[in-house]
Amino acid sequence: IAGITQAPTSQILAAGRRMTLRCTQDMRHNAMYWYRQDLGLGLRLIHYSNTAGTTGKGEVPDGYSVSRANTDDFPLTLASAVPSQTSVYFCASSGGDGRNEQFFGPGTRLTVL
């Protein structure tokens, strides 16, 4: 089934621990994105990648890093988690090159204690 998968579905993490959220798409989309969604704040862009091998910072990048080694995968890493990173994280992708519709994964619910 074509689409975006995210793992884990949910996670409880101790503050200070390192965590990588995984995102994989099978639509051969060039562009991928990571958002966080918080009550009252909507979806905010963390990092993005317009094509494999390139990444860029979004609105709220501090405390997060990404890599894009290939077209399909776009992991998000929290090097040292803090409670303010408790959120729901969504990965999205779009075709790029003028194909702007973004398609979202099911999300990862992360709690940092």
Partner 1 sequence: QKEVEQDPGPLSVPEGAIVSLNCTYSNSAFQYFMWYRQYSRKGPELLMYTYSSGNKEDGRFTAQVDKSSKYISLFIRDSQPSDSATYLCAGGTSYGKLTFGQGTILTVHP
DSSP per residue, 34-75: EEEEETTTEEEEEEEESSTT--EE-SS-TTEEE--SSSSB--
Which of residues 18 and 28 has its CB atom nearest to partner 1 in the complex?
Answer: 28
Residues 93-112 within binding reach of partner 1 (CB under 8 A): 94, 96, 100-107, 109
Q: Token digits for 57?
A: 């910072």
Q: Token digits for 111?
A: 């709690």
Under the binding rule (CB under 8 A), the answer on residue 14 touching partner 1 is no
State the nearest-atom distance from the C-beta of 98 to partner 1, in Å.
Answer: 9
Which residues in this chain contact partner 1 in the complex, by CB under 8 A? 4, 31, 33, 40-45, 48, 50, 58, 90, 94, 96, 100-107, 109
